[in-house]
Amino acid sequence: MLRIPVYMNGSMLLLAALVTVVYGNWVRSELDLPAPLGYLVGLGFVVCLLGSVLLHELGHALTARRYQIGVRGITLELLGGWTEMDRDAPTPRIDALVSLAGPAVSLLLGGIATAVSMALPDRTLSGQVAFQLAASNLLVAVFNVLPGLPLDGGRALRAGLWALIKDRNRATEVAAWSGRGIAFLCVVIVIWLYRLELVTLFGLAFVLLVVFTLWQGAGQSIRLARMTRRFPLVDLAALARPLLTVPAGTPLGEAQRRRSEDLRPNVVLGVTDSAGNLTALVDPVAAERVPVDRRPWVAVDSVSRSRDAVPALPLGLSGEQVVRALQARPAGQYVVTAGEEVVGVLRVGDVANVLEPRRPRKPAR
């Protein structure tokens, strides 16, 4: 119908079981129910929570589709899910609408369930179920609307800043730091509540787990924004390594000797057919595995990858287009072409060094 695949994290099942038991125990003593019924209600709470999260995520997904943004799938977690879209929102307004659609759904469901729960008699099973629906939806709405990435509120904050300063990546970084601030505040508050004995040890552990994923998500947003800001520095012409070709059948040792005499830096070895056309690229890992004393007896062809298996990148691509092309066809190396001609070879590690310069640099080879 909607054709959106829904995934669930394995670790969430464990947490769901834990919540079933803890909440089941609580509701059992509260309503004076037999144990199996108590756990059944506990399980009902977990199912309500997951159902609420699914509807919340559908809010994001369907709004995104409305603006021609493709949806790859939905991953469910207990306090929020994750809708994977195939591209970023093109404008701050659409970014804000897609982000806030989820909490809006949760708020609406929570409001309806609250009204129903108030109409039903207290301390009954139907009243308890309605209360669960109200609580789970309001919880999901309130938590996700906190203004820090990776939460929905953080995305809305980013959209606002983006409209204001016209720089999406800077806006992302600020909203992600706000996410880290919120994570820190949550820790302080929940420890304080625990010391006042308003929160159980289980509640403390649960919130700390949620805060930990929040902190990590914020860190990932910061890292991604910094990398995206460096996309224009990916200069295909400058990064392409020069190519030295040898005829098919040349011994590996001889090919490597010719390369060592080539004065250009970071030369990559290629193999040509009798007509002089590039047919393969030497795989540096496979070449390195051949023992030095065997290299005069091994033909370059046997440690090469066919040219057809190596994706091509036309020289005119901008930095961002290069990164998108690498994401679309992941590989270790690419041939850089100008028209029909191969003008060099791009190693994916060289691009990674430009995008994340603090990574330890591998020696160029």
Nearer to Zn ion by C-beta: 153 or 344?
Answer: 153
For helices 319-328 and 348-355, the axis angle rounded to 10 degrees is 130
Nearer to Zn ion by C-beta: 39 or 143?
Answer: 143
Residue nearest to Zn ion (CB): 102
Pairwise CA distance, residues 74 & 55, whole Å: 11
Nearer to Zn ion by C-beta: 150 or 270?
Answer: 150
Pairwise CA distance, residues 336 & 50, whole Å: 47
The least distance separating Zn ion from the CB of residue 82, rounded to whole angstroms, comes to 8
Number of H helices, E strands in the chain: 12, 10
By the rule CB under 5 A, 152 interacts with Zn ion = yes
The least distance separating Zn ion from the CB of residue 11, rounded to whole angstroms, comes to 19
The least distance separating Zn ion from the CB of residue 145, rounded to whole angstroms, comes to 9
Nearer to Zn ion by C-beta: 106 or 117?
Answer: 106
The least distance separating Zn ion from the CB of residue 60, rounded to whole angstroms, comes to 5
- Cα torsion angle, 169, 175, 178, 179, sign: negative
Cβ(132)–Cβ(105) below 8 Å: no
**Single-letter amino acid code for the residue at 140:** V
Nearer to Zn ion by C-beta: 101 or 268?
Answer: 101
Pairwise CA distance, residues 275 & 193, whole Å: 78
DSSP string for 197-222: TSS-HHHHHHHHHHHHHHHHHHHHHH
Range in contact with Zn ion (rule: CB under 5 A) among 142-150, 223-231, 255-263, 289-297: 142-150
Nearer to Zn ion by C-beta: 57 or 173?
Answer: 57
Binders of Zn ion: how many residues, by CB under 5 A? 3
Query: On the CB side of 243, how many CA atoms lie within 13 Å of its CA?
Result: 26
Compute and round to an integer the Cα radius of gyration of the chain. Answer: 28
The least distance separating Zn ion from the CB of residue 349, rounded to whole angstroms, comes to 35
Nearer to Zn ion by C-beta: 53 or 255?
Answer: 53
The least distance separating Zn ion from the CB of residue 77, rounded to whole angstroms, comes to 11
Range in contact with Zn ion (rule: CB under 5 A) among 65-73, 98-106, 336-344, 352-360: 98-106
Nearer to Zn ion by C-beta: 80 or 344?
Answer: 80
By the rule CB under 5 A, 153 interacts with Zn ion = no
By the rule CB under 5 A, 217 interacts with Zn ion = no
Pairwise CA distance, residues 55 & 4, whole Å: 12
Residues 6+ apart with CB under 8 A from 298: 251, 252, 253, 290
By the rule CB under 5 A, 102 interacts with Zn ion = yes
Range in contact with Zn ion (rule: CB under 5 A) among 17-25, 120-128, 150-158, 283-291: 150-158
Q: Say how many C-beta atoms besides its own lie within 10 A of residue 222's C-beta.
A: 19
By the rule CB under 5 A, 95 interacts with Zn ion = no
Cβ(310)–Cβ(331) below 8 Å: yes
The least distance separating Zn ion from the CB of residue 83, rounded to whole angstroms, comes to 7
Give contact residues for Zn ion (rule: CB under 5 A): 102, 144, 152
